Structure 1
Amino acid sequence: MERLHSSAPMPAHLRGCIMALGNFDGFHAGHQAVARRAIELARAQGRPAIIATFDPHPMRLFRPETPWFRLTTLDQRERLFAKAGADAMLVFDFTRELAALDPLAFVRLLADWGVAGVVTGEDFTFGKDRLGNVGVLAQLGATIGLVAQAVAPVTSPGGEIISSTRIRHALQSGDCATATRLLTRPFTIEGMVQHGDKLGRTIGFPTANVDMGHYLRPAYGIYAVRGLLPDGRVLDGAANLGIRPSFDPPKELLEPHFFDFAESLYDQVIEVQMIHFLRPEAKFDGLDALMAAIAQDCADARQILAGTPHLA
């Protein structure tokens, strides 16, 4: 799996590719349908298959004050795209210059890179002021030999269109089950384990502190989680996500405590899957009350995770 950038020429062995084109933050079931169609076309025609994404997200460029909302990092997307069967990931460096291109200039840019075909979702827009849509893409592409197809939205069993916005709303309300179903895997936060104040170990519940970075902030509270370690091990645990109201000073962190695990994880990059929201954050009157609540959270998380299959 190769990672390409729009600032560099397309490698010769990937020219003539079929490209799945979109932002694909989350790479949920709808995004996967677009990628699957592009890869099917590529394989049928004996061409390379590339999945493209944009970084930064266009909203970050035009509305920099927007709270963090990412569902995946580029590293996570690269692994997801590889698992889907793509030969490469292309990262469009989303600059004001790229955003200012008119639709025809953008389509010509694709052709200059040697893109033979493009697959998008039906809601895909592009070019200055988002004047380009799937109809414009197909019309302009036909004039220069670039084939374009659009994939219809994927709906959930209730008939609602699967979207990153819907997934974000689910996570912000603590509905991990809906997010998992729409993503086809749990929402997963990846980060380096930091040195903290080590308060958890003093009360018998050591935690691996992970900064939230640019991820969407799900509902603050206590979660049943699974940790994925660099060596492939999977650990069950309970985590606090929030500002730790029982401690001073407040500091936003994801703090997973992994059951029956005593090894050091400092300076390792781990993934934490958010499996189930247990309860909101709370402030307790004294250490004994806090420890009793954590013990109950761990018991509840163990029970939930025992009945939850592993999804990657």
Structure 2
Amino acid sequence: MRIHHDWKALPLDARGATVAMGNFDGIHLGHRSVIDAARAACDAPLGVITFEPHPRQFLVPATPPFRLMNAESRANRLARLGVDHLYELPFDAVLAGLSPEDFAREVLVGGLGVRHVTVGADFHFGHKRAGDAQTLARLGRDLGFGTTVAPLIGDGEVEYSSTAIRKALAEGRSRDAERMLGHWHRIDGEVLHGDKRGRDLGYPTANMAVEGLHLPRFGVYAVLVDVLTGADRGSYKGVASLGVRPMFGENRPNLEVHIFDFNADLYGQHLSVALVEYLRPEARFDSLDALVAQMNRDSQGAREILATR
């Protein structure tokens, strides 16, 4: 998959795609339906138009972290879905100020040369969200590109949405989130140097930052781990702690991942960590021996959960 960070001066072979357009935070089953509809719309390379930073981050910078995915995680997921081109448009004052008509004319046609655009039924675009899916269809007829409006989907009880998924994750309901996402919720990023306490306790961990993300319920999870870079690329199983490590004072939230039966240096490599099942909340223990005993129980529980995966 090729990633383009602007709509201007694109090479000829990056133009003329059939595109799905939206924020695609989480890339849940509703998003998948939009992407699948774009794929089926016409015989052209498949593209996704999204925005970085998320428009809400730009327009309301004081908002608490809400993103389910960072840009790296979103790109990784879209590549797995067979997307040919990711148009990660810079959301800035210029883009935010474009009217729906100017966005369609300058970005979609003049910049990307799209053949077809697919959006969800609740899509809005342009300055102050003035345009909707029907506006886009009208502009497509005027400017020469096709449009498809994909219906919202759900399971009869809940409409699949990023909001519903955030709620499930905040409550530790990983499997409910997976049902709406169509995949396990993942945290992707680089392995950073930490305090190395886990190694001293017999549980070496790969430490990952979680700044800017909506944080699932703090605690311990059974996880599936993809090592995306380096000599040890591959898929593994493990157990992870998400939170502030109350046993060791006040700390910034992070993700500490212990990979089972693995002994290699992962510093600087990139991981994708799937939160499969919530095991327990964070806790402070009376001693390091009590902590290690609980870690042993956590690992055994995670191994049992992941045995068939």
Following TM superposition, by how much is the alpha carbon of 1:295 offset from its aligned partner in structure 2, in angstroms? 1.2
Name the counterpart of 2:192: 194
SS at match of 1:290: helix
Taking only aligned residues, the RMSD between alpha carbons, in angstroms, comes to 1.6
Secondary structure of the 1:256 match is: strand
Which residue pairs with 2:42 in the alignment?
42
Give distance in 2, aligned partners of 1:82 and 1:205: 32
Structure 2: distance between partners of 1:7 and 1:154:
30
Match of residue 51, structure 2, among 51, 54, 69: 54
Q: Distance in 1 between matches of 2:268 and 2:86?
A: 27
Q: State the match for 2:306 in structure 1.
A: 305
Q: Does 1:103 align with 2:103?
A: no
1:269/1:83 Cα in 2 relative to 1: closer, same or farther (>3 Å)?
Answer: closer
CA distance in 2, matches of 1:98, 1:270: 32
Paired with 1:48 and 1:278, the residues of 2 have a C-alpha distance of 42
Q: List per-residue Cα deviations over 1:226-269 (Å, max 9, x = no partner).
A: 21113432221111110111113433221111222222222221
- Indicate the residue corresponding to 2:20 in structure 1: 20
Tell me, yes or no, if the aligned pair for 1:16 and 1:48 is still in contact at 8 Å: yes
Q: What is the match of residue 146 of structure 2?
A: 147
Structure-2 separation of matches of 1:96 and 1:304: 48
Work out which of the residue numbers 210, 213, 223 in structure 1 matches 2:211: 213
* Identical counterparts, % of pairs: 40
**Equivalents in 2 of 1:242, 1:212: separation in Å?**
9
Q: Is the 8 A contact 1:222 1:277 kept in 2?
A: yes
Q: Which runs of 5+ in 2 are unaligned?
A: none
**Alignment partner of 1:70 out of 60, 67, 87:** 67
Q: Which amino acid aligns with 1:92?
A: L
Instruction: Tell me how far 1:29 sits from its aligned partner.
Output: 0.8
Query: What is the alpha-carbon distance in structure 1 between the residues aligned to residue 51 and residue 96 of structure 2?
Result: 11
Instruction: Give me the whole-angstrom Cα distance separating, in 1, the residues matched to 2:283 and 2:22.
Output: 40
CA spacing shift, 1:185–1:116, aligned 2, 3 Å:
same
User: Where do 1:128-147 residues align within 5 Å?
Assistant: 128-147=127-146
The Cα shift of 1:280 comes to 0.7
Residue type at the aligned position of 1:61: F
> Within 5 A, what are the aligned runs for 1:284-295?
284-295=285-296
CA contact (8 A) 1:17 1:42 kept: no
**What amino acid maps onto 2:170 in structure 1?**
Q
State the 4+ residue runs in structure 1 displaced beyond 3 angstroms.
none
**Cα distance, 1:163 vs structure 2:** 0.8
> Which residue is equivalent to 1:8?
8
Aligned pair 1:93/2:96, yes or no?
no
Q: Give the deviation of 1:101 after TM superposition.
A: 1.2
> In structure 1, what is the equivalent of residue 253 of structure 2?
252
Contact kept in structure 1, 2:7 and 2:87, CA below 8 Å: no
Once the 2 structures are TM-superposed, how far is the Cα of residue 105 of structure 1 from its aligned partner? Answer: 1.0
- Tell me the distance in 2 between the aligned counterparts of 1:116 and 1:258: 45
Are the structure 2 counterparts of residues 228 and 15 from structure 1 closer, same or farther at C-alpha, using a change threshold of 3 Å? closer
The partner residue of 1:182 within 169, 173, 180 is 180
Alignment partner, residue 161 of structure 2: 163
C-alpha separation between the residues in 1 aligned to 2:89 and 2:274?
A: 28
Is contact 2:30-2:152 (8 Å) kept?
Answer: yes
TM-score, normalised with respect to structure 1? 0.92
Task: Look up the SS of the partner of 1:10 in the other structure.
Answer: coil
Q: In the aligned structure 1, how far is the partner of 2:226 from the partner of 2:210?
A: 16
- In the TM superposition, residue 49 of structure 1 has moved relative to its aligned partner by 2.2
Mean Cα deviation higher: 117-126 or 212-221? 212-221
- Counterparts of 2:251 and 2:159, CA distance in 1: 38
Aligned residue pairs total 304
Residue-by-residue CA offset, 1:131-174 (whole Å, 9 max, x unaligned): 10011111122122222210001212x44211111111111110
Structure 1 counterpart SS, 2:180: helix
Aligned AA (1:55): E
SS of the counterpart of 1:194? Answer: coil
